[in-house]
Structure 1
Amino acid sequence: MKSVSAEIDMVEKTLHELVRRPRLIRSTYWSTHVEGLLARPGLRVQDKQRLAALLDLISAVAPTGDLSQDLRADALAAT
């Protein structure tokens, strides 16, 4: 069970980093990944709550839809 918590830690850290750059989130990929973790048998209640919070986080962050606009904004911000 400790390995599941470590995996959740890694996913949680990655998603918290990605929410600062919403266009980089592949929502479907991460939702599927988190749902796969949720489907594992024997999860602790705390782990289920963390995963549910991550699903909420993924659904709350929506890409702008125009990737070229996002890339230009990043280029401007980097200068």
Structure 2
Amino acid sequence: MFGLLERAVAPSRPVEAMGIATSALVCGQALAVAVTGRLAESHGSSAAFAAASTTAGLAFVLALTVRPTTYAGGPES
């Protein structure tokens, strides 16, 4: 993720982009832990695992559908 981000942002802004990406990653993990923790308490661990697996699958599909075409064609020249 950080390697693609480095290629996608302007050369003068990689530090700002990495800071935002790191903050988003931490916030996303905190939200996921809070939601799956509540789900595990109320419906058991299998429901929490199913929610986490479903979310990972959706993130994978999203990553495949929104990636830039410059990365889809193989290595850059």
Q: TM-score, normalised by structure 2?
A: 0.34
Larger Rg: 2
Q: Specify which structure has the bigger relative contact order, considering alpha-carbon pairs within 8 angstroms and separated by 6 or more residues.
A: 1
Write 1 or 2 for the structure with the bigger share of helix: 2
So what's the TM-score if we normalise by structure 1? 0.34
